Structure 1
Amino acid sequence: MSVAALIVAAGRGFRAGNGLPKQYRSLAGRTILARTLDAFLTHPGIDVVQVVIHPDDEALYRQSVSELAPHTAAHLSPPAYGGETRQNSVLNGLEALGHSAVDLVLIHDAARPFAEPALIDRAIAAGRAFRAAVPGSAVTDTIKVVDGEGRAVSTLDRATLRAVQTPQAFSFNVLLAAHRKAAAAGLHAFTDDGALAEWAGLTVHVFDGDAGNLKLTGAADFQAAEQRLKGRAMAYLTRFGTGFDVHAFVDGDHVWLGGIKIAHDRGVVAHSDGDVILHALTDAVLGALADGDIGTHFPPSDPQWRGASSDRFLAYAVALVRERGGIVDHLDATLLCERPKLGPHREAIRARIAAIANLEIDQVSVKATTTEKLGFTGRGEGIAAQAAATIRLPEKRP
């Protein structure tokens, strides 16, 4: 039975206060969405993960995905766009999943980053057994019904009450049909898929939830989550690497700098495209990893790299960092030449490097200097670049 997880991440999170939508806020060094995605992408029972995002949040979404290890992101489908309500967003996600052979779907809120593997196991088992199942936690406080003036009307029997959470599990075709039925009826205000399933006539089973499966809603929830993670946070070590590259000029009509093709009256002697900035940055990242240099991973004797685009080299080095559970914090490069001038192309180069490395542009610095007519760069015989990379890697504990 193929199992998909549908992560609802299209909300704006107004109750959490001003700032970014809450699913993209940092929680102990990682976005909430990245933590939520990790829980499902690393679970062996999940075959595919579909995220529904707001159309305005593509850059924020890409940043969150960049925090994932590349091998875990293999099961991540392209994001779907949300609608005006949560119900519309879930329907859009289900329609996007309809192109896959999905038997069971788990619907989960992006703002619940603490879904433990055991809870996901229970959701899958309950969904298979009952076709419609939601996790619920016993209510420990006394619950009273009050009127419009705040007067107690009745006291509910808490033994029969459950606080419902996500992930909620459903037969895919059954839930998709229920959502389409509600949309056709002009109903769009369901905030819970279990409630929508009940409206559609399904019997919804309640299985054991998890009191620790906190939904981050207000400021107090974020503070509690930070404190919780501090108790189990992985320690990181900061690593720093440097790189240097040089190429001689030859007759030509362009050079590649930082992934941008720049018109020039010279070219460079190179096995690949000769992009000194990307080569230096690649060596800087590999140096921070203590994992050889660009020639180790992409030997110039190998014909497959002849004329290769150097963005592949930097993307590969950055992927190595993330495969080891690390984080790239900053990339810094300095171009050394008399010509071409970097200034007119600086921001395009920064943006291109950020795209290659899946970073924000403010994590990339590009500068240039001449050598005051000294040396081979001063004589216009060649071009060079030096670079630095700052990364974090998980601390190895005995």
Structure 2
Amino acid sequence: MASVTAPPPSYNSGAPPTYEDFEKEVERLKQKAASDPTFKQNVKESFIKGSGSDDNLKIIREGVDLFTQNITKINSAFDDIRVKLYEVDKKELKDRTGTTWKGESKWNVLRDEWKSLLRDSQDTALKSVARCDEFQLFCEGVMKITSLEDPRYRDTITELENFIQVPDPVGRTYNPSDVEKQAMTHSEAFQKLKEKLTNFKADFGDFADYQKVQIKDDLATLNRKISDIEIEIKSDETMILSLGVALGVTIFSTLAGGVVAAAMGPLSPLAIIALVIGSLLAIGEAGTLAYFIGEWYKKTAQRDKWKDEVKGKEALEATLVAIVSKLENQETGLGFILTQVDLLKNVWHTISNEAYLIANMLKDAKDKKTLTYFQDEINHAKEAYKELSSSLAKYSRAG
């Protein structure tokens, strides 16, 4: 089928329009549609032809693929954030009120709500696949009507009216006077989930900001302690190394040490100190050095412990930053996805609305000419209906 998708519009009239200009233009077109039936009909014809075009169907497929991929990403992000929150919770950290922060259990509630809403929407989509396929059969039947006197003409209208009245999986029936409201509003459950996610992000952000201040202070204290104790350690090491020189047991004055140094580069001061201490202990000459050597070991152990604490604090800060970032992305991504998921929950009624429009257009047919014109519109649109069925099936399996 030839493409009728127009290229993106360009604007070459000086300064770009403002948002106010945009609002005025939308209102102008609405008024024109209300007052000019020919304009409205021309737009409708172009839209119907475009909906079944190859280019438009390609865009739909790409959009569905991206949509299902995003659902998988959101599911994965819910789990990733849960794991990170569990790691934070284990540390028994306090918020600025002095209360121990516990985020994983709260997050699990949000995750479960999301999965429940998604599952309900996907169940409806899956059940709507058969309904969409049945609707396509009606479209094929419309194409076979030869005239207004054809018995299939009246039978098809009756069957469509019965089809429209079939309630959706949760028992709601289609109301043609409520179509616009249905298209423009979303269920309370989805809105509440979005609000809860926003509130959780704000609460965690405040907790993270408070903790980052504490971490900064703790790091300053730890690094100062490490700096001070390293001066003491270096002094002790220098003393022991000087003893090694006096005893003639440096790596360059002993055969074994010289071989190792030549083969692998100079040994570290710690290795030399260990050799000096080990040698003195072996011949029973450690004496009063034993206490100071013990203190040196304690200092190095304390320094290493503080360094590990620094790494832990830095890792915690990185985790907090990562969670905040993931929550930002999750709020943005989920806000957009929820709208689509919610709309798909109403896809049963979207199909009913299409059936309602077709039934009314059949009723409005005056003669063979208008019937043929209407059939031509159906012929253009039916490819889009096929794509809807395929898309619903793919969406029902997403995640």
| Structure with more strand by fraction | 1
| Structure with more helix by fraction | 2
TM-score, length basis structure 2? 0.22
* Structure showing greater Rg: 2
